[in-house]
Structure 1
Amino acid sequence: MGQQVEFGVPVALPAMFGEALTMSSREIADLVEKRHAHVLRDIEKMIQDIDEPSFGLVDFEAQYRDAKGERRKEYRLPKDLTVTLIAGYRADLRYRVVKRLEELEGEQKHSAVLSGKQLIAAALIEANSTMEAQAKQIESMKGDVAALEQIEAMSGSLSVRPAAKVLGIPEHKLKTWLQVNRWAFRQSGKGPLQAYTDKRNVGYLDHKHGEYTKSDGEKGISITLMITPKGLTRLAKIFSKGGDE
């Protein structure tokens, strides 16, 4: 699957950097020969019909830039929801998706397993291509929580997914921690994560706002929670102590 980059920061990391295999709604649309807007609609209806309480702590929504450079919405679904989604599609189209999932699983199994220290270096390099010239400095910093303070001079803010990779923890664990410890919240328990004002004021978190087109053609405003280098440093110290502030 291709990777879209926003402001030099990967919106979604490749499968080898994640714990679970996912497939983008755009790739599904290509495989089943449907318009992406229709697949988005099918996904939203499926999630609503399943009504799984745990989905409140899972964010399947992502963004990508189209050919014109405009930000658009997509979904990145785990294998179980991908298979559930295509259940009502034609058999030959379902077969294409299943075969692609098998290919992705094979690629994931053969990917080198990165250690915690290697993962920090890889995520930082993915987060900002300009860090290539500083590779030697990053190498000496790997795994050293105190040295993460130097990241402030080397990279920009990260969305939750790549930030979790830098911290070496599952994305869902970071999202849950941010909500439980009142760093971030979801409006009325739904929607994207948003930063509490006090965390923005101290420079730990920030927001990025964008515009996207809904399935009905109307324009919508998206909010992406961003963790600043200062916030990343603070979180690294917290999780080095077991997650207690």
Structure 2
Amino acid sequence: MTSVPFKGGDAVTMISLELVDFINSHRAEGAPALAHSDFLKKVPRVLKKDAGKFSHTYIDSMNRQQKCYRFPKRESCLMAMSYSYDLQAAVFDHMTEQELRLAQRAAFPIPQTRADALRLAADLDEHNARLVLENRALRLRLEHPEPTFQAGLTPVQFCRTLNGVNSQKINHFLLESGWIYNAETDPDRSPKYRTRSRARDKYLAEDVRCISRPGQKSIQTYLLTLLLAGSIRLQEWYLEQKLPMKSSWDGSLIQRRISREDLQ
């Protein structure tokens, strides 16, 4: 694990030799070891035209110059993910920890007084909170391709793509979370969900429709659909295991592509 200078500061990187050793150390017991030569062949297949950007060399035990790659965090995670999501998560967590250590060493001097120490602690809390948000966004992009975060789905439709989520309880969850409220005052009628102001135009859009009925008073219905930020927020709650889950859930956090059945 090394750090190299980038615009805006230093960044943690891994050369392909280190990454192969890390992957082998986290593989299941009895699984065949990954060879560095096989790993090198796979890099262009995973990173495609960007692979050449990360070309590097090293000196082997016989003092010969050999080809390898040096990857920043994103590409290290992509390569690990090509073997398994568990390996991708392990590399992500490992490099995140190294980033925190590097940032703390580089950005904050050793405090000389108690006041300096208190200021340092406050700065570290703010800095770490910012890294947590940035890494959460990166994890979402790596683990779940962007097309799954599309706008226009209802919360129930979106949650049907999330393995293990009890989509029938999502509206109740959003009620408790303060995103929606029930505008129907008659307890014997079906709920009439509306978007609260805190979520409107940020997480949820509200489409008001007027239904005409011959000889009767027309009625209004409300269709609540997720905006892009709302889709991402639900995904974050899913990864944090805060959504209502089915009793038969197998424990895996996987998102499927949206199908026609999900939209029904």
TM-score by length of 1: 0.35
**Higher RCO (CA-CA < 8 Å; seq separation 6+):** 1
Structure with the higher helix share, 1 or 2: 1
TM-score by length of 2: 0.33
